[in-house]
Structure 1
Amino acid sequence: MKRVIILLFLITFFMKQGLSQNKPVAKVEKIYIEYKGDSVEARRLTVSSMIPIEIARAWTNVQTPELLQFVAKGMIKFKSVDGEGFPKKWQEGQTYGAKMRVFGFIPFGGIHYLNIVKIDSANYQISTKEWDKSAKVWNHDVRMEAIGTDSIYYADSIEIYGGFMTGFITAFAKLFYKHRQKRWQIVARENLEFGK
C-alpha cells in the first residue's frame, strides 16, 4: 500500500513538472561528501522522467554497455581501454576503463573508471562509483520503477565532485543526463534491444 501511495505521488508530481510529455526534470543540490579524508562541497544531480517501456525490457537494456553508447551518442563517445572492449553485460564488482570524447572528438578527463558496485535486479537499481582526472567523484545510481504495465519512472542520481571544476562538471552532467533520457525515449519508441 505504501508503495502505491508513493507511486501515485510521483506520477502526480512529475505530471505537474511536465513529464506527461516525457520530458526529463533535473534538480541540483549542494551536498558534503568525504573525499580523501576531508569533507568537501559536492553536488547531487538528479534527472528523472517517465519512459513508455516495459520495466523488464528497460532493465535488460540498462545492464549493457551497448545501451550506454546509444544513449550517450551525440554528446559522449566511450572507448574501452581494454583491448577486448566492453563486455556484453556489466558485471557487478568489475571496474572498466574508458577514454571519453565529448561530441565524439574532444578528449576529456583522461581515462574514466567505472566500478559496478551493485546490480540489484529485485529493485531495478544499479550503483556505480566512477572517477577520472577531472571528476574525482562521480557516484551514479540508476533507479527505475514500474508505472502500470508499459511505463517506468526512471531516475539518474549522481554525486559529483571535481574540486574547483565541480560547478562546470555538474552543468555538463545535467545536459548529458537530460540528453540520455531523451535518447531513452527513442529506445522505447523503436523497441530497441541491446546486448544480444
Structure 2
Amino acid sequence: MKKTKIQYKGKTVTAHKLTIASSMEMNIDEAWQRVKTSALLEFLSEGKVTFKPTGGHFPETWKQGSTITTRMLINGFFPFGGLHTLFFEKIDEENKIIQTREHDAFAKVWDHTIELQYINKEILVYQDEIIIYGGILTPILSSWARMFFRHRHRRWQLLVDEKFQSA
C-alpha cells in the first residue's frame, strides 16, 4: 500500500493506493467473460461482503456508463457505508480493463481498476488496483480493503482449481 495525492472536491488529499496481483492458469478470454459478470463479484466476495442491490438484483453483466447502487453487509450481517454507488466508467474489451468509480458514506473515493494481462496462452495476471480515500477513516478502510482483496484472490483460485477438477 502506498500513499498518493488525489483531488477530492477541489482539494488535494492523501489517499491510499493498493495493488494486488495474482497469476493463474486460466485462459484470459474465459477469465474476461467472468470478470464482466455480477455473479463473479458475488462469488469473490462471498464470506466477507453480501450485496443488497437497491434494484433487487445486479444486472447479469456490467455495462460501461452504468451506475449501480447497493447496500453492503460485512460478514453478511453488519451494514457498512450506507448506500454504495458504483459507476462503470470504462470496460475496455481490447485491453481487458474495467474501471469503476465508487463511493459511500465512509469511502468518499473508491476507484477500482481490474486488469487482466497475458503471460502466455493459459496463464494470466489478474490485478486489482484500488485508490481509497475516506478522510480520517482512510487507514482503516485501506487495511480492510487489503484483507478483502486478498480474500477475492483466494476465491479466484477456487475457480481455477474447479476448472482443472472438471477437465
Query: Smaller-chain TM-score range?
Result: over 0.9
Specify which of 33, 41, 51 is matched with residue 60 of structure 1: 33
The amino acid that maps onto 2:50 is: K
* Structure 1 match to 2:94: 122
Q: CA deviation at 1:188?
A: 1.4
The amino acid that maps onto 2:68 is: Y
Q: Does 1:91 align with 2:74?
A: no
Q: Does 1:75 align with 2:48?
A: yes
Structure number with larger C-alpha Rg: 1
Q: C-alpha separation between the residues in 2 aligned to 1:49 and 1:163?
A: 29
**Match of 1:191, SS?**
helix
The TM-score with structure 1 as length reference comes to 0.82
**Match of 2:163, SS?**
coil
Q: CA deviation at 1:191?
A: 2.7
Q: What do the CA deviations read for 1:91-148 (whole angstroms, capped 9, x no partner)?
A: 1000000110000111000011000000001001000000000000000000111111
* Structure 1 match to 2:23: 50
Q: Does 1:40 align with 2:21?
A: no
* Structure 1 match to 2:79: 107
* Structure 1 match to 2:144: 172
Q: C-alpha separation between the residues in 2 aligned to 1:191 and 1:92?
A: 28
* Structure 2 match to 1:158: 130
List gaps (5 residues or longer) in structure 1: 1-27
Q: Runs (4+) of structure 1 moved beyond 2 Å?
A: none
Identity of aligned residues (%): 40
Q: C-alpha separation between the residues in 2 aligned to 1:185 and 1:50?
A: 9
Q: C-alpha separation between the residues in 2 aligned to 1:79 and 1:51?
A: 30
Structure with more strand by fraction: 2
* Structure 2 match to 1:23: none
List gaps (5 residues or longer) in structure 2: none
The TM-score with structure 2 as length reference comes to 0.96
Q: C-alpha separation between the residues in 2 aligned to 1:91 and 1:183?
A: 23
CA RMSD of aligned residues (A): 1.0
